[in-house]
């Protein structure tokens, strides 16, 4: 078999996505839609690198990787920014090595000193076996329908979901073309407030608009309301039978009503209806608050392995590792007025790959 590594263009999204949808280890981030959204919203170039079998041309491996700049103005190749996973998909290790070599050669000739590839440990662990303080993604296997999902939960979890409903909360899930500007604005308003509370710059509204436009029927937004006020929101992406929730937030003023419980029930039950078999709750640190919240739904854990390659030297780094400088920046950001952070955040967020 003869392999040629090349870059595909946007007009070849059909064959790209066909390979992604058929690959066991693919995520919704591997679809060409993510790279298209990056280009549309932030203007960075996404390289759609594919390994092609030349005798009977078809894709046997691929890697989407974004050429971007950091806050310090340094050029970086990241696979993939703004999400947890973006490693190489391929038919075998030889093809993986060929794609990796291509990327490192491209970086060298383009004078890019920093390459990051966000991969995964092959092993999926029971949460009790996950090493403390490791960064993991939390995975839940979904049954055939929402009734079966509710039945597999422990009684305490079921009662918490029902409590949220008894407190007067309800939800609606919008998908594809039903995601109107009003729905997106409700979602964005909640995300802005939550990011401010976390001390983190928020993405631009244009970023989320690009996600909705590019993912089409593979994106949905859940809105939880109390007396017609949006108090919780989450955005879900789907790729075949895999679903992931990159962004979810609730308003802290309404925590007493348990909107987070109803929000996750909304996205999980809807994912079942959309024939998803695996739900990715996203990144958590083992033992910390978000990890424990996700653990109660019955998740397993999979370690995130992010490879950093600088000047040809490879190291494994912990995703989003907290430093004293980062803690200072977060505390400072929280003290800024919300309106100012909504203005400034989208101007600097594109340059933060996390």
- pLDDT tens digits, residue range 205-255? 999 999 999 999 999 999 999 999 999 999 999 999 999 999 999 999 999
Domain 3-112 shares a fold with domain 143-276: yes
pLDDT surpasses 70 at 186: yes
| Average pLDDT estimate for 302-306 | 96
- Pick from 197, 259, 254: nearest CA to 234: 259
What is the DSSP annotation of 41-79? HH--EEEEEEEEETTTTEEEEEEEEEEEE-TTS-EEEEE
Token match 């790209």: residue?
16
Domain 3-112 annotated CATH 3.40.630.30: yes
301 near 133, Cβ under 8 Å? no
Nearest CA among 214, 201, 207, 154 for reference residue 31 = 214
Return all residues near 57 (Cβ < 8 A) that are at least 6 apart.
Answer: none
State the average pLDDT for the chain: 95
Quick one: tokens of 143?
């049954």
Q: If one looks up domain 143-276 in CATH, what number appears?
A: 3.40.630.30
pTM here is: 0.95
What pLDDT sits at residue 323? Answer: 66
pLDDT of residue 324: 74
Where do the structural domains in the chain lie, given as residue ranges? Answer: 3-112, 143-276
pLDDT tens digits along 104-156: 999 999 999 899 999 999 999 999 999 999 999 999 999 999 999 999 999 99
Task: Write out the DSSP string of 125-138.
Answer: EEGGGSPTT-EEEE
- Count the Cβ atoms, other than its own, within 10 Å of residue 183: 19
Q: 215 and 40 in contact (C-beta within 8 Å)?
A: no
Summarised one tens digit per residue, pLDDT across range 331-353 is 999 999 999 999 999 999 999 99
């Amino acid at each position: 078999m003869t392999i040629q590594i090349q870059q595909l263009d946007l007009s070849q999204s059909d064959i790209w996505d066909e390979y992604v949808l058929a690959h066991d280890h693919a995520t919704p981030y591997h679809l060409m839609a993510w790279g298209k959204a990056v280009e549309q919203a932030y203007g960075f170039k996404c390289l759609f690198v594919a390994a092609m079998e030349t005798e009977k041309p078809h894709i046997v491996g691929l890697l989407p990787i974004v050429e971007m700049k950091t806050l310090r103005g340094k050029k970086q190749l990241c696979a993939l920014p703004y999400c947890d996973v973006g490693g190489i998909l391929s038919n075998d290790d030889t093809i993986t090595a060929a794609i990796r070599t291509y990327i490192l050669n491209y970086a060298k000739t383009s004078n890019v000193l920093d390459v990051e590839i966000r991969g995964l440990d092959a092993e999926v662990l029971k949460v009790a076996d996950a090493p403390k303080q490791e960064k993991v993604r939390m995975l839940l296997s979904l049954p055939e329908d929402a009734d079966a999902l509710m039945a597999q939960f422990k009684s305490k979890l079921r009662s918490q979901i029902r409590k949220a409903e008894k407190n007067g909360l309800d939800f609606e899930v919008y998908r594809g073309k039903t995601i109107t500007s009003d729905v997106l604005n409700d979602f964005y308003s909640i995300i802005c407030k939550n990011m401010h509370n976390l001390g983190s710059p928020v993405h631009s509204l244009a970023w989320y608009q690009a996600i909705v436009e590019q993912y089409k029927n593979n994106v949905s937004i859940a809105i939880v309301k109390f007396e017609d006020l949006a108090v919780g929101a989450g955005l879900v992406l789907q790729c075949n039978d895999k679903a992931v929730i990159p962004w979810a937030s609730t308003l802290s003023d309404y925590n007493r009503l348990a909107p987070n419980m109803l929000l996750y029930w909304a996205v999980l039950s809807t994912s079942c209806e959309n024939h998803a078999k695996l739900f990715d709750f996203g990144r958590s640190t083992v033992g910390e608050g978000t990890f424990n919240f996700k653990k109660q739904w019955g998740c397993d854990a999979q370690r995130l392995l992010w490879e950093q390659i600088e000047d040809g030297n490879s190291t494994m780094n912990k995703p989003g590792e907290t430093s004293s400088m980062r803690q200072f920046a977060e505390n400072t950001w929280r003290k800024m007025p919300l309106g100012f952070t909504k203005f400034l955040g989208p101007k600097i967020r594109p340059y933060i790959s996390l």
